[in-house]
Amino acid sequence: MSKILLSKFIIIFLFGTIVLSAQETKDSAEFIRHRFGVYGNYNYYLHTADFHQIPDVVNCCPIFNGGEGTGYSFGLLYEYVYSNSISAIGRLKYQKLGGTLTNNETKSALVNNTPTNALVEHHLFTKFSILGIESLVKIKLTGELSFLGGFDFNIIVNSNYVQYEKLLQPATGNFDNGRRIRFETNGKIKDISIVNSSFIGGLCYDISFDEKNSFIISPEISAAYNFTPAVPNLIWNIHSAKAGLSIKYTPIPKEVRIIPEPIKPPEPKMPAPTQEENKVDFTIKSVVDNNEKDNAEIDIEEFLSTRMNPLLNYVFFDSASSEIPKRYKLINEEKTFNYSIDTLKDKSELETYYEILSIIGKRLQSHPGITIKLIGCNSNDGAEKNNIELSRKRAKNIGDYLTKVWKIKNDRIKIEARNLPEFFSNTSISEGSAENRRIELYSENQVILTPIEINDTINEIKQSEMRFVPESNMNKFLDGKLEIRANKKIIKVLAFSDKMPETIVWDLKNDADIDLMKQSNQLDCKMTIRDLDMKAYTNEKVIKINRIRIRDKRKAKLSDKQINLFSLILYDFDSYSLNEKNMEILNQIKNTLGKNSSITIEGYTDKLGEDEYNMLLSVRRAKAVSDALEFENSKFSGYGETKLLFDNDYPEGRFYCRTVKIRVETPIK
């Protein structure tokens, strides 16, 4: 809606400019009317507010009354000169603005584990990114000094915040978390006012560099009074004072003497070729629930979701090495203060696993009474044969990362070493040896290795396939391809040669970049066929993308559902039995089930072993889960290694492929 309003405003502004220019007298045509340029401002922002928290972010601050910050803006401008004394200016701008809102409160708090009457500062830091337009009238006051007045119309495209409480008094000591800062959160501000507007007033001074005024530099100062709140239903306005500079260029038309060309005698008419021109065309169809429809549309629907990603308690090492491989995401001590597990919500199970050591460090910091055990292991072959010292170094390097970077005390980490793990992989193959080169991490307290639970939304494509039916009068050709672009980026290429296919199928469920697609309003499809002479013939069409958001479904009172996703990776090699950790996750799933819920269970394996055996193993894993859940409205299937979920070149990729994925759909009334 905001884009439509912005487009309407631009059309009205341009139409008004044309009408006013048409009203000028013929004498005024002597003025050079069109000026183009760029501008930039340094901005000071004053926040006026009366709220205690931003949407969906818990805060015990009694009230935020105001704040201040700085930022900048820059963009393109167009100036139309109506007369010697008045001009109209339109600006397209990009703007960065920030602000810090604080409030001090005296309250009771635990300082050094002692109840204390402490002075606490509530701190809210915000950053906004804005795209917008400014519509200004420039009225000359005296000489080259002019008044600027008008308003802007903005779209907030990004909004972030950082929030925490800071201990001011007493001057020494810490909260119960061991720091002088607590309750630190960050993220995007929800329910932001997408459309924002202000009144503008200011002064500018034009400095010309030649007699024809082709180049003008114009310093300016202005102030903007904001009359739309940053967040609906909150008293929060952001006013600004700006100082900046505009650089404008006026194109001076050159006089061109036109010499008429001599009249050429008419050329003799040649008979038109009788050969039919080669043509390329295609139609687009969509498939929903196995039903083909004659429409070129893709529906991306948003659902509430809870995802549970289990953590593999192994860290794998390269052959004969005790160094932690670089694929594990380690951080330095400074970044531990702001590290948050909430940042993992957009990452896959394997991407989350690569941060296992930082996750463990964060949880050990948050639970100072918990201890862990690190067991170093080796493959017991080649250079690692009976190399207990190598196993110990592997465990010690993990322990050093936790003690030196995360400041975990040494007495909380117990280190052991052995040759092969207690439950080792097949030692007769290289992949099995790689899986045995590891440390194993254990804790008596389940909180250290509890799965990562993420409450968020997911987007799913309603269509299972898009079908393209090519049409051409070329019986023979060299090759052809169908390119599909989202925001000018190629996301899929479907090629063919020799023979024209009846239908080209795009599998959306397994082969679509949904993150890139949901950022676009349409997909641009281009079919190209090259004939035997290497000449290319093309045709282009568009697939419309419809976004079905949760708020739209609720507003229209449409049916909806919640989708919860769970994964089990705690299988031993060549096993389908459910161990204690599997059953803990399954018991949590049972607690989420309602009478109208439905369950889909899918079993997978890694690439090791025979295809047929892996298919049977994946079905057994899925069936074992189905039997344990004991829920009537459920179905299970196995895919074996026909669908490898992750890269199997590394041990962790194979472990995360030995999985069962569970999808629970529950209708929402």
Architecture, CATH, for domain 560-668 = 2-Layer Sandwich (3.30)
Opening angle at CA 24, ends 22 and 27, nearest 5: 130
pLDDT band at 384 (very low <50, low <70, confident <90, very high): very high
DSSP-derived letter for residue 311 is -
| Neighbour-count burial of 490, counting CB atoms closer than 10 A to its CB (0-12 exposed, 13-18 middle, 19+ buried) | exposed
What mean pLDDT, rounded, does the chain reach? 88
Please give the structure tokens belonging to residue 18.
Answer: 């044309």
pLDDT of 164-218, one tens digit each?
999 899 988 898 888 999 989 999 998 888 888 999 999 999 998 877 778 889 9
pLDDT of residue 196: 86
pLDDT of residue 329: 95
Residue 14, pLDDT > 50, answer no
Instruction: Give the strand pairing for 236-249 and 207-208.
Output: unpaired
92-110 mean pLDDT: 91
- Do residues 445 and 381 make contact, with C-beta atoms less than 8 angstroms apart? no
pLDDT of residue 24: 42
Instruction: Give the strand pairing for 560-568 and 297-309.
Output: parallel
pLDDT of 420-456, one tens digit each?
999 899 899 999 999 999 999 999 998 999 998 888 8
CA gap 376, 355 in Å, rounded: 19
Query: Given strand 504-507, what is the order of strands in its sheet?
Result: 291-293, 280-288, 465-472, 504-507
Question: What are the extents of the domains in the chain?
Answer: 2-249, 280-303+459-553, 311-448, 560-668
pLDDT of residue 447: 92
Q: Which of 346, 324, 314, 329 is nearest to 655 (CA)?
A: 314
pLDDT of 477-490, one tens digit each?
889 999 999 999 99
pLDDT band at 603 (very low <50, low <70, confident <90, very high): very high
* Reduced DSSP (H G I as helix, E B as strand, rest coil) percent helix, strand, coil of the chain, to 5: 20, 45, 35
pLDDT of 303-326, one tens digit each?
888 888 889 999 999 999 999 999
Residue 269, pLDDT > 80, answer no
- Do 280-303+459-553 and 311-448 share a fold? no
67-85 mean pLDDT: 91
pLDDT of 121-135, one tens digit each?
999 999 999 999 999
Residue 69, pLDDT > 60, answer yes
Please give the structure tokens belonging to residue 128.
Answer: 């906004």
Distances from the Cα of 615 to the Cα of 642, 646, 660, angstroms: 8, 17, 13
pLDDT of residue 23: 43
Query: Given strand 372-376, what is the order of strands in its sheet?
Result: 314-316, 438-442, 372-376, 413-417
pLDDT of 29-50, one tens digit each?
444 678 899 999 999 999 999 9
Please give the structure tokens belonging to residue 229.
Answer: 């709140």
pLDDT of residue 29: 42
**For 475, phi and psi rounded to 5 degrees?**
-80, -35
**For 521, phi and psi rounded to 5 degrees?**
-90, -15
353-381 mean pLDDT: 96
Residue 72, pLDDT > 90, answer yes
Which amino acid is residue 471, in one-letter code? E
pLDDT of residue 257: 63
Task: Return the CATH class of domain 280-303+459-553.
Answer: mainly beta
Segments in 480-523 forming alpha helices (H): 514-517
pTM of the model: 0.54
pLDDT of 274-285, one tens digit each?
556 888 999 999
Measured over all CA atoms, what is the biggest interatomic distance in the chain, rounded to whole angstroms? 105
Residue 270, pLDDT > 70, answer no
- Do residues 71 and 53 make contact, with C-beta atoms less than 8 angstroms apart? no
Residue 233, pLDDT > 90, answer no
Residue 22, pLDDT > 70, answer no
pLDDT of residue 654: 93
Domain 2-249 bears CATH identifier 3.30.1950: no
102-117 mean pLDDT: 87
Which amino acid is residue 403, in one-letter code? T
Q: Comparing 92-96, 262-266, 599-603, which segment has the lowest mean pLDDT?
A: 262-266
**For 404, phi and psi rounded to 5 degrees?**
-80, -40
503-521 mean pLDDT: 86
Q: Where are the beta strands (DSSP E) in 143-190?
A: 145-169, 181-188
Answer CATH for 311-448 from 3.40.190.10, 3.30.499.10, 3.30.1330.60, 3.40.50.920: 3.30.1330.60
- Do residues 164 and 186 make contact, with C-beta atoms less than 8 angstroms apart? no
Which amino acid is residue 498, in one-letter code? D
pLDDT of residue 555: 82
Contacts of 598 (CB under 8 A, 6+ apart): 633, 634, 664, 665
Q: Which residues pair with 341 in a beta bridge?
A: none
Positive or negative torsion for Cα 520, 522, 525, 526: negative
- Do residues 401 and 413 make contact, with C-beta atoms less than 8 angstroms apart? no
